[in-house]
Amino acid sequence: MPEYNLILPAMGESVAEASIIRWLKEEGDFVKKEDILVEIATDKVDSEISSPVNGILKKKLFYPNEVAKIGSSIAILETVEKLKKFSTIEGKTTKENKNRFYSPLVRTIAHKEGISFYELETIEGTGEKGRVTKKDILKYIQKNKILLSKERNNIFFSCKTWNKKKDLMRDNEEVVEMDRMRRIIAENMMNSKNISAHVTSFVEADVTNVVKWREKIKDSFQKNTGEKLTLMSVFVECVVKAIKDLPMINISVDGNNIIKKRNIHIGLATALPNGNLIVPVIKNADSYSLGGLIKIINDLIKRAKSNQLKPEETQGGTYTISNIGSFGNVFGTPIIHQPQVAIMAIGLIQKKLSIIETPEGDLIGIRHKIYLSHSYDHRVIDGVLGGGFAKKVALYLEKFNCYTKI
């Protein structure tokens, strides 16, 4: 049967490799076209690869936790043009193969060793017309025993490592290994701190108009559109306006060169149910109306939390917003999402007793206030720009028209 190389497909311009999470089929298994073969993960998102052909999974070229390059072959399949009819061999369900004969002795050995018909099909035969001889199947079994022995050794050494960990544990402690996504997040955070000279500026903004606007129309808006009206759409709109005013925030650094971005792609740092983090991206955020932003933000966050984002939907961001207020935090010092040069954290909205300036004089009243925390890369952004940008966003929030219609 002809062989087919299963290639790790491209998943976006900035993704060069992916980790194998787990195989859903074993070597020797029959696979139908579009059956899911393997789960993979990039530093952006998890995904699945389906079989493009009918056939038998002959060999896995990568195993769980191993990293494969985009475009490389991760498995070999033996293709089958048509699905074969089912029959039984030595009491086992198999599929007929009219092109190959197996002697009773070979079938008996296969049955005794638990070798399926599909696995039998993968054994190279040296007999007449490619038949599998007793020597062929015994050689195959011996080879597998050697491989199994190696796997057992790996398990043994893994257990020894775990036992060493247990020896270091106290009665009131537990060693919990980081999952794959947590390891990637940890590496990215450390890389960012090593690359960028982080500075954070803080600005307080009066968002009373924004809050009143939402309270006034949120119920009717959801009834009419089916969309939940959140304030993130307003924050994104104000950030986009500020970027247009101060475009040197929308840059990246390449050695001694500054790369100015023509497009405004806003990343939204999103907490997942398991506590990890992902950043879906609103591409060309400046092209959306406020209503359009509401719809795309709801969609991206919903699919992010259910692990349904496409790889390209987490790539290409030029500026990131993190809603730390959703955790009840007032302000913080967010870490820049490389290769960007700035990130803004939106704090918790609080009611505060405030001095209100009017033409008739100062008054005291209750206002809704929020802190904006703006971290920026001091290699290329100084306080005038970094702090000025945060103030610009605050001014747009304070000038928001509470009679705005969507």
Q: What residues are labeled active site?
A: 378, 382
**Phi/psi class of residue 378: alpha, beta or left (left: φ > 0; alpha: ψ in -120 to 50)?**
alpha
d(CA 351, CA 57): 62
The CB density around residue 253, as the number of other CB atoms within 10 Å, is 17
Query: Using CA atoms, how far apart are residues 372 and 170, in angstroms rounded to an integer?
Result: 42
- How many CA atoms are closer than 13 Å to the CA of 280, on its beta-carbon side? 21
Cα separation, 299 vs 228, in Å, equals 10
Hunting for tokens 């406020």 — which residue is that? 290
- The single-letter DSSP state of residue 26 is -
From the list 349, 386, 369, the residue with the least C-alpha distance to 205 is: 369
User: 272 and 278 in contact (C-beta within 8 Å)?
Assistant: yes
Tokens of 91: 């009491």
Alpha-carbon distance of 85 to 23, in angstroms, equals: 26
Locate the DSSP E strands across 207-318: 251-254, 257-260, 266-271, 277-278, 281-282
Q: What does the alpha-carbon distance between residue 406 and residue 392 come to, in Å, rounded to a whole number?
A: 23
Tokens of 123: 């054994």
